[in-house]
Amino acid sequence: MARSPRPFDHEGARTMGIEEELLLVDPRTGRTAPAVELVLAAAASCDVVAQVPEASRLIKLERESKREQIEVITKPQSTLEDLARCVTSGRQLADVAAQQLGLRAVAMGTSASASRTQLTASTRYSEMEERFQSTMREQLTCGLHVHVGVADDEEGVAVLDRIRPWLPLVLALSANSPMWNGEDSGYASQRYQAWSRWPTAGPTDIFGSARAYHRTVEDLLATGVLVDDGMVYFDARLSARYPTVEIRVADVCLEAAHSVAIAGIVRALVSTAAHEWRSGFSPDSLPTPVLRLAMWSASRHGVSGPLLNPLLGQPCEPRVAIDALLAHVAPALAATNDLHRVTAMIDDVFEGGTGAERQRRTLREERSTRAMVAQAIERTHRPIAPSSSVLDVLPI
């Protein structure tokens, strides 16, 4: 299924950065805690900085829309090894700061318990709550956003048009949010279901040009429905602040190693799409309504049930779909020596389950959401194993 001509025309590793949203929880109860301001203050203290000395040059911590979560933002990196150090340091800094208050930072896409959330103090967030009501009040979800560098908006939109069919598989691999209102939702990514309530969320049509993309955004803003252009919540979009495309479909991953591999897959998708564009390949014209069903299937099943073939839009076994993704990006992954790391993550997901399956397994065995949160905390801060020293090679 790989359509990219070979050998892969590698032009240097594109920079990438990620934003990881983490929950702040009380480990004694497993419930979320509205304490982001105190955690940010603790993170700036001399005691915490001394425990995670390299974090300040690799990441920054920020507020998100709810006081029960914190965002880790990495600086742009060129290798997955460097990105792994950023992710590890960011999770550690957030957690060490949270522990100053008797709390922990955990990578779960949704809360294990039912609880009211508190809005972060912000005029913008208050306006969003007033306008969107329960959609904003009930929105406590944690995602993984991946930024990948592009030359300009024209290349960026060409990339957006060509990665569309593959994004459901990124969601399937990352699925890590089975819980909603204290109960098993039945979805591998309930986060994506909740996020889809926003009026602009989801897949997009093929734009064809940067001009058409920007005209679409202008038309959306002209409706008066959105508070600002930051609410253009496409599954993948041009960043308003950086020369990047921003892919927003993934759940925050339970294990740091999986977050890093997801970033590697996304970068490879971007590089492959840009290469196809330069080589004259047209985007695959899978209809947007079918893409919505593909995203729903990924959200519902993760990799434990049928997914849609990324090019045909027909049901297939999850391993078939993921193998098609791997074949599609293998040349780009090999060019950056990331093929082994990504393949190992995919194998780990199929052997041990997605984050959602691992959370459910603990819940079944322990019959306790508190135990599930405790296990998630342990996995959140599990060290990333060193990448193989063997150079990646293309499969024959």
What gap in Å lies between CA 86 and CA 42, rounded to an integer? Answer: 19
pLDDT of residue 4: 44
Residue that is written with structure tokens 């809360």 in the block: 111
Residues 281-309: what's their mean pLDDT? Answer: 96
pLDDT of residue 11: 58
Left (φ > 0), alpha (ψ -120 to 50) or beta: where does 202 sit?
left
H or E segment to which residue 22 belongs: strand 16-25
* 347 neighbors 336 (Cβ within 8 angstroms): no
- Per-residue pLDDT at 140 exceeds 50: yes
What gap in Å lies between CA 226 and CA 19, rounded to an integer? Answer: 23
What gap in Å lies between CA 231 and CA 233, rounded to an integer? Answer: 5
What gap in Å lies between CA 118 and CA 131, rounded to an integer? Answer: 16
- Per-residue pLDDT at 396 exceeds 80: no
Residue that is written with structure tokens 């060509």 in the block: 162
Nearest to 77 by CA among 17, 164, 153, 1: 17
Domains of the chain: 16-380 (3.30.590.20)
* 159 neighbors 26 (Cβ within 8 angstroms): no
Backbone angles phi, psi at 198, to 5 degrees: -70, 140
Dihedral sign for Cα atoms in the order 55, 59, 65, 69: negative
pLDDT of residue 356: 98
In b/e form, how buried is each residue of 209-221, taking b as 16+ CB within 10 angstroms? ebeebeeebeebe
pLDDT of residue 347: 98
- Work out the mean pLDDT of the chain and round it to a whole number: 94
For the stretch 213-267, pLDDT in tens is 999 999 999 999 999 999 999 999 999 888 999 999 999 999 999 999 999 999 9
What gap in Å lies between CA 203 and CA 200, rounded to an integer? Answer: 9
Amino acid in the structure at residue 262: I
User: Can you state the percent helix, strand and coil of the chain, rounding each to 5?
Assistant: 50, 15, 35
* 35 neighbors 120 (Cβ within 8 angstroms): no
Nearest to 252 by CA among 94, 380, 95: 380
What gap in Å lies between CA 107 and CA 95, rounded to an integer? Answer: 11
pLDDT of residue 385: 80
